[in-house]
Amino acid sequence: MDGDASDEQLLAAYRGGEVRAFEKLLARYEKPIWSFLRRFVRDAEAAEDLLQEVFLRVVRDAQESGPAWKGQAKFSTWLYTIARNLCIDRARRSAVRGSGSPSPSPSMDGPTDGEAETATLHERIAAPGPATDTVVAGREAAVRIDRAVAALPDDQREVFLMREVMEMPFAEIASAVGVSEPTVKSRMRYALEKLRVALADLGDVGNGGRDAAESTGSG
Amino acid sequence: MATGCEEVSAHMMELLYGELPGEDRAAIEAHLADCPSCRAELAEFRATRVAARRALDEDAPPARAHQAILRAAAAAVAAKQPQPIEARAVPARRSLWERLRARWTLPTFATIGAVAVVVLASKVFLEPAKTVELGRQAIQPTPAEPPVAPAAEGTAQPEAKEESQAAKQRKREALAPDLQGSPATRSIAEHPAQRRRAAPADGFGALGGLAKGSGAGPAHAKSPAVDDVMAAENRPVAPPAPKMAKREFAPPPPPRGGPARDEETSLGDVARLRAGKGSVSGGAGAEPSPAHAATAKRTEKADSPGLPTELERAPAASAPAPAAAPSAPVAEADEAGRAEAKDKADDSAQARSAVKPRAESPGAHADRLFTEGRWAEAARAYRDLLRRDPHNAEAARWRQRLAASEAAAAPEAPAAASPPAR
Decide if B42 touches A, using CB distance below 8 A: yes
Q: What is the pLDDT at residue A51?
A: 94
How much is the pTM? 0.41
From the list B43, B66, B69, the residue facing A56 with the nearest CB is: B69
Contact between B73 and A59 using a beta-carbon 8 Å cutoff? yes
Cα(B119)–Cα(A79) distance, integer angstroms: 72
Inter-chain CB proximity A55 and B73 less than 8 Å: yes
Chain-chain contact of A219 with B49 (C-beta, under 8 angstroms): yes
pLDDT at B114: 92
Cross-chain Cβ contact B76/A59 below 8 Å: yes
Residues of A in Cβ contact (< 8 Å) with B60? 31, 34
Per-residue pLDDT, B126: 73
Residues in chain B within 8 Å Cβ distance of A55: 69, 72-73
pLDDT band at A179 (very low <50, low <70, confident <90, very high): very high
Q: Which residue has the higher pLDDT, B219 or B57?
A: B57
pLDDT at A48: 92
Range A127-132 average pLDDT = 41
The verdict on B68 touching A (C-beta cutoff 8 Å) is yes
B50 has a chain A CB within 8 A of its CB: yes
The pLDDT tens digits of the residues spanning B339-397 come to: 454 445 444 444 444 444 456 788 888 888 888 888 888 899 988 888 888 888 888 88
Provide the b/e sequence for A99-133 (b: ≥16 CB within 10 Å): eeebebeebbbeeebbeebbeebeeebeeeeeeee
Q: Tell me if B43 and A196 make a contact (CB, 8 A cut-off).
A: no
Average pLDDT over residues B255-266: 41
Between vectors from CA A149 to CA A105 and to CA A86, what angle results, nearest 5°?
Answer: 50
Q: What angle do CA B10, B16, B20 make, to 5 degrees?
A: 65
Distance between A92 CA and the closest CA of chain B, angstroms: 24
B52/A55 CB distance under 8 A: no
**Which position has the higher pLDDT, B362 or A128?**
B362
Do residues B329 and B372 lie in contact, with contact meaning Cβ atoms separated by under 8 Å? yes
Contact criterion met (CB below 8 Å) for B237 and B334: yes
Q: Are the beta carbons of B73 and A22 separated by less than 8 Å?
A: yes
Q: Which of A41, A198, A25, A168 is nearest to A104 (CA)?
A: A41
State whether residue B180 sits within 8 Å of chain A by CB.
no
Nearest-CB residue to B61 (from A18, A30, A208): A30
Q: Which of B46, B74, B81 sits opposite A209 (nearest CB)?
A: B46
The Cα-based distances of A131 to A147, A167, B243, B283 in angstroms read: 16, 30, 124, 141
A-B contacts at Cβ under 8 angstroms: 150
Mean pLDDT (chain B) is 61
Sign of CA dihedral B373, B374, B375, B377: negative
The per-residue pLDDT for range A40-53, each reduced to its tens digit, is 888 888 999 999 99
ipTM of the complex: 0.71
Tell me if A55 sits within 8 A of A147, measured CB to CB: no
Residue in B48, B70, B80 to test binding to A, most A beta-carbons within 10 Å: B48
B77–A209 C-beta distance less than 8 A: no
| Whether B48 and A192 lie within 8 Å, measured CB to CB | yes
Please check whether residue B61 touches A, CB under 8 A: yes
Report yes or no: B33 at the A interface, CB cutoff 8 Å: no
| Closest alpha carbon within chain A to B82 | A17
Amino acid identity, position A152: L
| Lowest-pLDDT range of A70-84, B16-30, B348-362 | B348-362
CA closest to B63 among chain A residues: A48
Asked if B51 and A202 come within 8 Å (Cβ–Cβ), the reply is yes
Contact residues on chain A for B73, CB-CB shorter than 8 A: 14, 19, 22-23, 26, 55, 59
Which one has a higher pLDDT value, B144 or A153?
A153
Using a CB-CB cut-off of 8 Å, the residues of chain B touching A157 are none
What is the C-alpha to C-alpha distance for residues A29 and B69, in angstroms, rounded to an integer?
Answer: 12
Report which DSSP code applies to B326.
-
Residue A138: φ, ψ to 5°:
-100, -155
CA dihedral A135, A139, A144, A147 (to 10 degrees): -170
Contact A195 B48 (CB under 8 A): yes
Q: Please judge whether A164 and B53 are an interchain contact, meaning their C-beta atoms are less than 8 angstroms apart.
A: yes
Q: Is the pLDDT of residue B71 over 50?
A: yes
pLDDT of A49 reads: 92
Distance from C-alpha of B225 to C-alpha of B171, rounded to nearest angstrom: 11
From chain A, pick out residues whose CB is under 8 angstroms from the CB of B20: none
Partner-chain residue, chosen from B50, B59, B68, that has the shortest CB–CB distance to A204: B50
CA dihedral B369, B371, B376, B378 (to 10 degrees): 50
